[in-house]
Structure 1
C-alpha cells in the first residue's frame, strides 16, 4: 500500500536503503552523467521499493529545470504538424518530461515571437518549433532566446538546432520508383511553396527528374487538400500526357484519384499516382496508395534527445535527419502502352 501523510517516503530514506548519500539519489533522479551503473541500479530499486515520488517543485528549484519542453505548432490541423506534436509528447513522457504546446493558426493574432515569450515566461527548459512556413522561420531569427530552441525543418540552419525527416530522399524515392516502372513523363502537384517541406519535395523532384533525363514539366501548385486535387482532376478535358503524378501529400493523392475515377480514368491502368506521408487510410483507399512513409515516432525521439542534450550542455549534432521509406501499393504500375 502506498504511504500517505507523514509516512510519505523521502529522499533520505531512499538513500539509506540504497546505501548512498541523498545527493547521489538526487543525481540519479536528475540523470546526471558519470553515475556508476551499479549505484544507479541500487537507487532505482530503492525508489521502487518505497514507491518514492520526488517533489517536482523541489526538484525544479534545486536544478533550476522544470523538465518541460515548449512546443510551438503552426497549422496544427495538418497531418504532419499534428503527428510531430504527438510524437514529441510521447518521447518527452518516456524521458520524464512534460510538454506545453501552443498552436498558431492561420490569421491568428499570436505571432511566433509571442509564443516564445509565453513559453519562456512559463519556465520551459527548451522550445521545439514545428514551423512549416518560411515566414515563420524568418520571424524566429529576430527573437532573442534564453533557452535552447530547435526547429523542425527540412534543411540545416545556421541559427537553430534542426531535426527533420529527409524530404529530399523521400521525393527521390518516388522518382526512382516511377522511373524503374518505365515512366518518363511525371507531373508533380506540390503543396504551397511557402511551406518548407513542400519546397524541399519540389526541389528534390526536379533535381532527380533532371538526373534521369526525363521530361521537365511545370508543376501544379496545390494547397495540400484533397478538394484541390479533386477539382484539378475533374477539370481535365482529357487524360494528361504525363503517365504518372507525384502528389506532395496523401490528401492530395487521394483527392486526385477520386477525381480521376469520376472522370473515367483508371488508376493505375491509365495513370499512376504516388503520395507522401502514409496516412492511416492510405492502405485502405482504392486502389491502396503508393506513398512515402515518414517516421514521426523517430522524429519525436530525435527532437527530445537533442533538446535534452542542449539543456544538459552535452555535445550534440547541429542537425539530425530521419530517413524515409517508400511503401509500394497498387496505385502505381508500368505506364500505359508498356505492359
Structure 2
C-alpha cells in the first residue's frame, strides 16, 4: 500500500507531516511524542520511524511556555557503581528516552548531610515536572526534617515513599520476594536450613532480603542461623566465607548479592569445602560474570528495565493527567536462574568439625 505524499518544503517538518508519512492521525502522533499510554507498540514504532525519517522533533521550549511544564523529569539516585543501583538508573534513562521528556539526574553520596532532601531541592529549583527517587539507602532522621515541600508527582523505585507530594507512586523490584524464591530453592533441594550473608542494613534491599529469608525459614519451621553482614563487595563475601567454612554443619548459603556470593565461594574452596557438593551458594542480581565463574552461580535475575519502564509509564500518565486514575504497575516476574552452584546437601550430613581457613 503506497503512503500519502509527504509535504516537500525547506521548512522544519510538522506533526501533520509525520502523521501523513505514518498513516495515522495528528492526535496519535501527539500521543506518541508525548509518551502517553494506550498506543500500541506497533503504532508507536511506526510514528517514531516516520519522525526519524523526517527529522521531526518536538519544540519543547514552545510547549513549555504554552503548558507551564518543562518536559523534564528529575532523578535522585545514589552515586555508585554497584550493579543494582547503576542498572536501575540505566533502565530509567532508557525508559525516559521513550517518553519525550528530558532527564536531569542528581547523585547523592553516602554520608552526605544534604542527602535526598538536598537533591530534591536542587531538582525543584531547576524546574521539573516530576521526580523519580531511586535512592537505596535509608536517610538519617535529621535529613528527613530537611525535606522540601514537593509540588510535583514523585515515583519511588524499590524503597518506601519518604516525601509528601500531590501524587506518590511506587514501583520496582520487591526484594523480599526475591529472597523467598532463593530460600525456597535451597530448601526444596533438601537442605535443613539456609545461612544468610546480608548486605549493609542501611540499604532497603538488604533489609528486605533479610526479611524474605527469615520469613521463609519460619514458614517451613526451620532453624534460623546467625546472620553475617557484608558490604556488597566480593572481599566482604570472602571474609564471611572464611567464617562459614569453619562450620561443617553449613550446607547452604544465600548471599544478598552476586559479588558477595563469588567471594564467599572462593573462601569455601580454599578451605576445602566443595561447591556445590558440600555447600550450595546462591547470589542475587545475575551480574554479567555470574554465568562464567567456577562454578557458574545460581542467582535471581532482576528485571531492572521492566521495572523502570512500567513505573515510568504510570508516572508520565500521572504527570500528564493530574486528576486521572493511576495506571496500575505490576511487579515484574521473578526469574530464578539455576546454575551449577546449588545441589542437594551431602549425604550423610557433613560432620560438625572445624576447618582452619587458609
TM-score (norm 1): 0.85
**Matched-pair contact (CA < 8 Å) for 1:154–1:167:** no
Counting only pairs closer than 5 Å after superposition, residues 115-134 of structure 1 correspond to structure 2 as: 115-134=119-138
Provide the residue aligned with 1:262 in structure 2. Answer: 270
SS of aligned partner of 2:331:
strand
Distance change >3 Å, CA 137–CA 101, structure 1 → 2: farther
Question: For the residues of structure 1 that align with 2:23 and 2:277, how far apart are their CA atoms?
Answer: 72
Provide the residue aligned with 1:183 in structure 2. Answer: 191
Provide the residue aligned with 2:154 in structure 1. Answer: 149
**Matched-pair contact (CA < 8 Å) for 2:34–2:100:** no
Question: For the residues of structure 2 that align with 1:246 and 1:181, how far apart are their CA atoms?
Answer: 13
How far off is 1:260 after superposition?
1.1
1:64 lines up with 2:64 in the alignment: no
Question: For the residues of structure 2 that align with 1:323 and 1:137, how far apart are their CA atoms?
Answer: 34
The C-alpha deviation readout for 1:214-271, integer Å capped at 9, x for no partner, is 1111211221111111122234572442210110110110010011112221111111
**Matched-pair contact (CA < 8 Å) for 2:116–2:135:** no
Question: For the residues of structure 2 that align with 1:131 and 1:81, how far apart are their CA atoms?
Answer: 8
Question: For the residues of structure 2 that align with 1:168 and 1:46, how far apart are their CA atoms?
Answer: 44
**Matched-pair contact (CA < 8 Å) for 2:114–2:143:** no
Question: For the residues of structure 2 that align with 1:294 and 1:138, how far apart are their CA atoms?
Answer: 32
Question: For the residues of structure 2 that align with 1:64 and 1:9, how far apart are their CA atoms?
Answer: 24
Provide the residue aligned with 1:224 in structure 2. Answer: 232
Distance change >3 Å, CA 43–CA 94, structure 1 → 2: closer
Provide the residue aligned with 1:73 in structure 2. Answer: 77
Instruction: Identify the match of residue 219 of structure 2 among 211, 222, 237.
Output: 211
How far off is 1:338 after superposition?
5.4
Task: Indicate the larger mover: 311-320 or 121-130.
Answer: 311-320
**Matched-pair contact (CA < 8 Å) for 1:87–1:297:** yes
Distance change >3 Å, CA 123–CA 220, structure 1 → 2: same
SS of aligned partner of 1:321:
coil
Question: For the residues of structure 2 that align with 1:46 and 1:274, how far apart are their CA atoms?
Answer: 47
Counting only pairs closer than 5 Å after superposition, residues 1-339 of structure 1 correspond to structure 2 as: 7-10=11-14, 29-30=33-34, 50-108=54-112, 110-135=114-139, 139=143, 142-154=147-159, 160-235=168-243, 238-313=246-321, 314-316=324-326, 320-337=330-347
Distance change >3 Å, CA 137–CA 274, structure 1 → 2: farther
Q: Which runs of 5+ in 1 are unaligned?
A: none
TM-score (norm 2): 0.81
How far off is 1:197 after superposition?
0.8
Distance change >3 Å, CA 290–CA 21, structure 1 → 2: closer
Distance change >3 Å, CA 128–CA 17, structure 1 → 2: closer
Distance change >3 Å, CA 318–CA 112, structure 1 → 2: farther
Question: For the residues of structure 1 that align with 2:275 and 2:46, how far apart are their CA atoms?
Answer: 61
**Matched-pair contact (CA < 8 Å) for 2:183–2:213:** yes
How far off is 1:117 after superposition?
1.4
Question: For the residues of structure 1 that align with 2:296 and 2:45, how far apart are their CA atoms?
Answer: 49
Question: For the residues of structure 2 that align with 1:18 and 1:174, how far apart are their CA atoms?
Answer: 47
Q: Which runs of 5+ in 2 are unaligned?
A: 1-6, 350-358
How far off is 1:8 after superposition?
3.0
Distance change >3 Å, CA 91–CA 184, structure 1 → 2: same
**Matched-pair contact (CA < 8 Å) for 2:197–2:255:** yes
Distance change >3 Å, CA 11–CA 186, structure 1 → 2: closer
Question: For the residues of structure 1 that align with 2:16 and 2:200, how far apart are their CA atoms?
Answer: 58
In the alignment of these two chains, the number of paired residues is 335
Task: Indicate the larger mover: 289-298 or 92-101.
Answer: 92-101
